[in-house]
Amino acid sequence: MKKSNGIKKVNAAVFISGTGSNLKNLIRFSLKKNSKFNINLIISNNIKAKGLKYAKEFRIKKKIVNYKNISSAEKSILIILKKSKIRLICLAGFMKILSKNFLKEFNGPVVNIHPSLLPKYKGLNTHQRAIDANEKFSGCTVHYVSSKLDSGKIILQKKVKILKKDNLNSLTKKVLKQEHLLYPKALNKIYSNL
Ligand code: GRF
């Protein structure tokens, strides 16, 4: 916990594998007065992740982890989390599954954002699957991470209407816009007692 402007904030790490629009949005939110968290560390399994550029832009420590061997990857992540005094992990498009052991070893909440109304459409290609199934609604969910894929306790969810004219691209954009509103809100909710 760190005091900035007299407000207690939780040290968080964001794990990414790709674009990092949620990462950028969380960083921006974290700089606001009413944010309950700071982003102190960015972790990626992918050296080519576009989102890594935000480390430089916002002067945040980054660590790229070689995932050839999962157990040594997780060990090195746990070490840097400890060094950086991280108390909260936010997964944002991180394409690796964290092991049971990792979740046990890390002493704090691990949270993920998923682009569907869980428990519907766990896993990948959620938008296309929702369109193909003629769903009237899709959306996004922020949830705690458990050892089962996309199955932990839900923190917040936001519905998005699927229109007849929607396609993969338009639905992805619409949901992502809501993700950017939902994720910071959900993180602040976890720490509403601070
Ligand atoms: C988001 O749709 C998120 O819900 C999913 O992966 C995507 C990541 O997008 N888990 P970005 O890298 O944050 O732009």
Predicted confidence (pLDDT) per residue in 10-23, tens digit: 999 999 999 999 99
pLDDT band at 77 (very low <50, low <70, confident <90, very high): very high
Q: How far is the CA of 92 from the centre of ligand 1 (A)?
A: 6
State the Cα–Cα distance between residues 96 and 1, nearest whole angstrom.
27
- The arithmetic mean of pLDDT across residues 187-194, rounded, is 93
Across-strand partners of 154?
143
Q: What's the whole-number mean pLDDT along residues 41-63?
A: 98
**Distance in Å, CA 143 to ligand 1 centroid:** 14
7 Cα to the center of ligand 1, angstroms: 29
Q: Are strands 88-91 and 7-16 parallel, antiparallel or unpaired?
A: parallel
How many angstroms is it from 166 CA to the middle of ligand 1?
19
Task: Provide, rounded to the nearest whole percent, the portion of the chain with pLDDT above 70.
Answer: 96
Question: Which residue has the CA at smallest separation from atom 5 of ligand 1?
Answer: 93
Q: What percent of the chain has pLDDT over 90?
A: 92
Q: Is the beta carbon of 22 within 6 A of some atom in ligand 1?
A: yes
Q: Is 139 in the pocket of ligand 1 (CB under 6 A)?
A: no
Q: Which atom of ligand 1 is nearest to the CA of 140?
A: 4
Catalytic residues: 114
Q: What is the mean pLDDT of residues 87-100?
A: 97
- Check pocket membership of 45 for ligand 1, CB cut-off 6 A: no
Nearest CA to ligand 1 atom 7: 93
Report pTM.
Answer: 0.96
Nearest CA to ligand 1 atom 9: 93
Architecture of domain 2-190: 3-Layer(aba) Sandwich (3.40)
Between 59-63, 95-99, 145-149, the lowest mean confidence (pLDDT) is in 145-149
DSSP string, the chain: -EEETTEEEEEEEEEESS--HHHHHHHHHHTSTT-SEEEEEEEES-TT-GGGHHHHHTT-EEEE---SSHHHHHHHHHHHHHHTT--EEEESS--SPPPHHHHHHS-S-EEEEESS-TTSS-SS-HHHHHHHTT-SEEEEEEEE--SSTT-SPEEEEEEEEPPTT--HHHHHHHHHHHHHHHHHHHHHHHTTT-
17 CA closest ligand 1 atom index: 12
Convert the pLDDT of each residue in 139-190 to its tens digit.
999 999 998 889 999 999 999 999 999 999 999 999 999 999 999 999 999 9
State the burial class of residue 118 (Cβ atoms within 10 Å of its Cβ: 0-12, 13-18, 19+).
buried
